[in-house]
Every structure is written in structure tokens, then in C-alpha cells.
Amino acid sequence: MFAIVEIAGQQFKVEKDQTLFVHRLQNEEGASVEFDKVLLVDNNGSVKVGTPTVGGAKVKAQVLNHLKGDKVIVFKKKRRKGYKKKNGHRQYFTKIQISDILG
């Protein structure tokens, strides 16, 4: 059984007991969270497609921890002009584990 769910503006294909990294959520570590924007549910060949969401379907997850991703270097340069700009960025993520898919 799997579902396509929208979490923090991004769509993920999730299954039970799967861990994934999503954009930072406001919930505390160890808290449970429910996502109700379920776009598709597949229950062993029985597919429900939402318009735009499946009514009554929910995905329950557990927040494991909050962390930062790898550093990404942004380097800009214009040749022969002496223009160089170096900038770094680290994205904030939340690691969650899918505990149940209802629907």
C-alpha cells in the first residue's frame, strides 16, 4: 500500500515504515503529525485518485528529528569584469517516519 501525499508544498510517494526528509515542520521531535492532502491511494491494486484530494484519507507520521542538509556553494562570476560572489546555503529539514496510511 502506498500513497501520494503533499507535505510542505512538495509531493512524496510514501509507504508504511518509510523514513524521509521534508522541509522543516513546526512540530516538536517525537510528536505525531497527520497529513490530509492525500492525492492518490493504492491499496494492492485498488487505486483511489482524488480530485484534487482523496476524501477521508490521511497519512500519519512521527517526527524523528530536525537537521540541516549539506552545504551548497553558490558561486557567481562574470569574466573579465572582476566580479566574483561566493555564497553558501544549508537547507533545514525534518526527518519523519510514516506510521500509517488511512484511506
- Grid coordinates of 60: 500519519
- CA-CA distances (angstroms) from residue 15 to 4, 39, 56? 9, 14, 18
Sheet order of strands, 38-43 included? 10-15, 2-7, 38-43, 46-49
- Grid coordinates of 94: 525534518
Average pLDDT per 10 consecutive residues for the chain, totaling 103 residues: 95 96 96 96 93 94 97 98 98 97 89
pLDDT at 103: 81
Question: What CA–CA distance (Å, rounded) separates 11 from 19?
Answer: 15
pTM comes to 0.83
pLDDT at 94: 97
